[in-house]
Amino acid sequence: MKFLKWLGLTILAIVVLYLIIPLFLSSSFHVERSINIERPVEIVFQTATDMNMRAKWDPWIEMEPEVEMNVTMLPEIVGSGYTWKGEIIGKGEIEILEFVPNELIKSKIRFIEPQSMESDVIWTFKPTEKGTEITWAFEGGLSYPVEKWYGLFMDKWMGPNFEKGLNNFKTLVEKLPNTIGRTGEIKEINFAGAKAVSIKEKCAMDKLSGKMFDMYTSLMGFLNENDVEIDGSPFAIYHPSDEEGFTILECALPVSNKIKGKDNINFIEIPEGKAIMASHFGHYNTVKTTYKAVLKYVEENNLEINGSPWEIYTTDPTKEADQSKWETQVHVPIK
Q: What is the pLDDT of residues 127-181, one digit of tens each?
A: 988 889 999 998 765 655 555 545 455 667 677 888 999 999 999 999 887 666 7
What CATH class does 182-333 carry? alpha beta
pLDDT tops 70 at residue 327: yes
Once rounded to an integer, what is the mean pLDDT over residues 60-88?
Answer: 87
Q: What is the rounded CA–CA span in Å between residue 280 and residue 332?
A: 13
pLDDT over 50 (residue 15): no
List pLDDT tens digits, range 280-304: 998 777 788 899 899 999 999 999 9
Other C-beta atoms lying within 10 Å of the C-beta of residue 332: 22
CA distances from residue 252 to 131, 188, 309, 312 in whole angstroms, order as listed:
37, 23, 13, 10
pLDDT at 2 over 80: no
Distances (CA, A) of 210 to 55, 84, 247: 25, 24, 14
Average pLDDT over residues 9-31: 56
The pLDDT value recorded for residue 18 is: 47
At residue 164, the 3 state secondary structure works out as helix
Rounded to a whole number of angstroms, the distance between the first and last alpha carbons of the chain is: 101
- Give every CB contact of residue 261 below 8 A, 6+ residues apart in sequence: 197, 267
pLDDT score recorded for residue 275: 94
Q: What is the model's pLDDT at position 143?
A: 53
Peptide bond into 22 cis (omega under 30): no
- What pLDDT is stored for residue 298 in this prediction? 93
Distance CA 269, CA 108 (A): 40
Q: Check residue 3 and give its pLDDT.
A: 52
What percent of the chain is modeled with pLDDT above 90? 46
Instruction: Compute the distance between CA of residue 72 and CA of residue 208 in angstroms, rounded to an integer.
Output: 19
Give the helix ranges, DSSP H, for the chain: 2-20, 41-49, 59-63, 146-151, 154-174, 208-225, 288-300
* Pair type for strands 81-85 and 235-239: unpaired
Per-residue pLDDT tens digits for 220-236:
999 999 999 999 999 99
Q: Are 170 and 35 in contact (CB under 8 A)?
A: yes
Q: What is the pLDDT of residue 119?
A: 85
pLDDT of 190 over the 60 cut: yes
CATH of 21-174, one of 3.40.50.1370, 1.20.1440.230, 3.20.20.150, 3.30.530.20: 3.30.530.20
Nearest to residue 307, comparing CAs of 259, 257, 272? 272
- What average pLDDT does the structure give for the chain? 84
pLDDT in tens, 235-281: 999 999 988 889 999 999 999 999 998 899 999 998 999 999 999 99
Each domain of the chain, given as residue ranges in start order, spans 21-174, 182-333
d(CA 67, CA 324): 27
Residue 26 pLDDT: 55
pLDDT band at residue 16, thresholds of 50, 70 and 90?
very low
Burial classification of residue 134, based on how many CB atoms lie within 10 Å of its CB (0-12 exposed, 13-18 middle, 19 or more buried): buried
